[in-house]
Amino acid sequence: MWVKPLQIQISGFWSTDRANSYFILQRRRGLTTLLVATIDTVLDNKISRYRILYKRPDAEIYFLIAETDKKEDVEEHWKWIEVNMMPTLEGIDVADDISDFVQWKIKSLCTEAAYEDIGDIETEKFKNATKKFHKVFNMSMDEKLVIYYSCSFWRGRVPRQGYLYLSVNYLCFYSGLLGKEITIVIKFTDIISLERVHNIVSETIRICTRLHKYHFGMFRKLEETFQIMEQIANFAAKKLLSQKGAFQEEDHFPAVTKKTAPKVMSQLKRDFDAKSRNEAYRYRFRLPLNERLDGEIGCHLWTPYNRSSIAGKIYISSNFICFSSKVYRQVNLIIPFRDIIIVEKHTNNSNISDFDIQSALVITIKYEGGPFVLSNFTDRSFILGKLSSLLSEYNEKIISIIDLPPITISPPLYLQFNNNFTEEQQAYENIRIAAWHTHFAIYGRGSAMYRTNELYELLFQGIPNSLRNELWLLFSGAIYDKEVNLNIYRKYVYESSNVKNDHDTINEEIERDLYRALPDQEAYQQESGINALRRLLRVYACYNTDVGYCQAMNILGGVLLLYMNEEDAFWTLAALCERLLPDYYNTKVVGALIDQGVFSDYCKEYIPELYDKLEHLGIAACISLSWFLTLFVCVMPFESVLYVIDIFFYDGIKVLFQLALTILNENRHRLLACQDDGDAIMILTTYLDQFNDDNEKHEEKQIIYLIKKSYTNYNGINEEDINRLRLKHRLKVVQSMRESLLQSAAKNTLRFTKFNEREIKNIFYIFN
């Protein structure tokens, strides 16, 4: 294949097969000898068998212009040179002109090759690596190679150069030096920890399994290698937790075009990268689980509330246009396709008269708000064409159920049971309502609201009862699920009341927990409130059969029903269980156990002395489990915990980590002085009980003070960091669960065999 001209030094490992005045065809000498193979491995020289060089006529300067492993390919290239280039070169007398012509011609050939049809993206080099992977490690043809890297395996203090192969299920390494081979095969599901560590020479990647530790280093792209390892290990861990499997090659990944395809890539690596980007995109903007990112590009957003142009990125997916500022949380914007009337170039004839931005795109929506102006695109025509194409193809898939008997949807229960404000409380409520409506007038309302830092001050003061239904639904992202699933709630109400056999056990669990949900709330001392909660929990168990019903869902469902109508509470509960707190609400509460580990890491980082004390007392882990699982509902006075839930729906899990760290730090000296775990629990319980609506501190309610302080001290905690730590602890939690199950199975097997427990476990590890 043609390559861009690269100046090289002539070495003794090549023999010349043909030559003329300007070009040399060479073959790799002694390729099969042990010495040459070893040198190629050590120097990471994945050398082709044949190459063509261009030699300047006026100097001993050589340029590589083509290389291949196939003799027929190099013969074809040589013939092309003789027919198409040599006659032209013979008519040029100046050496510099000859060199300029050759380099220009070869570069143009490379460009043409890059823009040929790329139906098969994987290069010949990658295909050869795949064949070697299957042969060397005796892998089945079904095992798909994701990517491979040159690196060194550290055996003691001596590095062994070789290649690391990453497939969907295995991490493999091979090295062959002077006839000595090293072959390593590790299942991703056997990995307990994966981390970057520094040694004397360089940074390495350390992989720990149940029995061994492995160090790999000297990567050209260590960051990229570690990220793809994390991705695959993450999917492997999820696969162990899900019967459906964590990774499937999807049909809806963004299309790769000639313009966007990299020179060397694995189709499967592209799929993994796309899957990771999709997850990050959905979490950032609280979008449905089936939303897929098409692309992103830098641009500016015009913000009319302060007449500024904000730098950031626009994200385009199958159903949304989203914008996020370069400065963290300066402004975010979410525009559903269903709300867009038109996207057009900005002109003087547009309906925008108070500002004029050249080379901009204007998005006009159906409802109040907008138009939204995006500018400073590197290729405005391409973006306009892309958006126009997506909008023209957009077919709103609304699932609507008909022919079902009508049901009565319970309104927010606070309207009936918890709406007895004192005059002072009502005055404060009116002030909050007025502040929110002022904000809506400036920044917009609904999905296409400008989400700015100014929103935090309102959230710190709490959302008024009358707006909680609207804003919890919006900030949680549940509104997007509800809009495309009309009457689905009605369908599942009908099904859950008629399908008995499969749900009898779940219904019994729900019945036991109904009256334990929020016993102090008047709404759940009455049948109307209990009936609404029963329907909500049964419907969700019928809707999400993988989760069914889990502890703490009765408490969260009870809170939602107090301030939301029954259907909105259902979609918000779904968003909470499936996106905001993933894997929290199942029989093993895996997500909560993972976040236990994450919280411990944050404690070690931010409050190390206090963490050591809590670890010594044996309560470091159990604290976060009860706090996070119920969003502090069970440990704080109800009126105070509503402030936590208000901002949790907007900012996600980071709120819980920040608040928990702040609570511990506020009690630092008392906790360090306590003698046993009972004293520590009593200190924290007493502290949290005092967060009632009457106590004030610094002219603010204590909970507001605490939330603000958590943002001041720990705002460095972010989604990216949390997800990285979740991966680390997901591997540990999954392996711990696996070990527990294996230990139980081994004990149950003892009476059927003469093997002891350890031998049974070893047999499992060998054949699994």
**How is 472-523 classified by DSSP, letter by letter?**
HHHHTTHHHHHHTSTTHHHHHHHHHHH--GGGHHHHHHHHHHHTTS-TTSGG
Q: Which residues of 184-209 are buried (b: 16+ CB within 10 A; e: fewer)?
A: beeebbbbeebeeeeeeeeebbbbbb
Task: Find all residues with CB under 8 Å of 729, minimum gap 6, and list them.
Answer: 593, 594, 595, 596, 597, 598, 601
Strand order of the β-sheet with 340-345 is 340-345, 361-365, 372-375, 293-303, 308-317, 320-325, 331-336, 451-452
CA distances from 619 to 284, 636, 671, 684 (A): 32, 19, 11, 11
**Single-letter code of the amino acid located at 343:** V
435 and 342 within one domain? no
For residue 11, pLDDT over 80 is answered with no
pLDDT at 274: 84
Asked if 72 and 80 count as a contact pair (C-beta separation under 8 A), the reply is no
For residue 369, pLDDT over 80 is answered with no
| Position 398 in a domain | no
For residue 46, pLDDT over 70 is answered with no
pLDDT tens digits along 579-633: 999 889 987 889 999 999 999 999 999 999 999 999 888 887 788 888 999 999 9
Under DSSP, the state recorded for 585 is: S
pLDDT at 768: 64
Rounded Cα distance between 44 and 152, Å, is: 10
657 and 752 within one domain? no
Instruction: Give the domain CATH number at 440.
Output: 1.10.8.270
Start-to-end CA span in the chain (Å): 43
478 and 387 within one domain? no
For residue 23, pLDDT over 80 is answered with yes
Mean pLDDT within 339-360: 68
571 and 493 within one domain? yes
Give phi and psi for 266, each to the nearest 5.
-95, 135
575 and 435 within one domain? yes
SS3 96: helix
For residue 322, pLDDT over 70 is answered with yes
pLDDT at 705: 92
Of all residues in the chain, the percent with pLDDT exceeding 90 is 47
| Residue in the structure block whose two tokens are 């967060």 | 691
For residue 19, give both structure tokens: 């030559």
Using 50, 70 and 90 to split pLDDT, how confident is the model at 268? confident
| Position 448 in a domain | yes
Rounded Cα distance between 651 and 628, Å, is: 14
| Residue in the structure block whose two tokens are 């105070």 | 640
539 and 462 within one domain? yes
707 and 616 within one domain? yes
pLDDT tens digits along 101-115: 888 788 877 766 654
Range of the domain at 633: 590-717
Q: Which of 14-18, 109-113, 753-757 is least confident?
A: 109-113
| Position 35 in a domain | yes
Q: Give the end of a domain, one of 114, 147, 174.
A: 114
Q: Which of 131-145, 270-284, 541-555, 686-700 is least confident?
A: 686-700
| Position 223 in a domain | no
| Position 258 in a domain | no
Tell me how many domains the chain contains. Answer: 5
Model confidence pTM above 0.75: yes
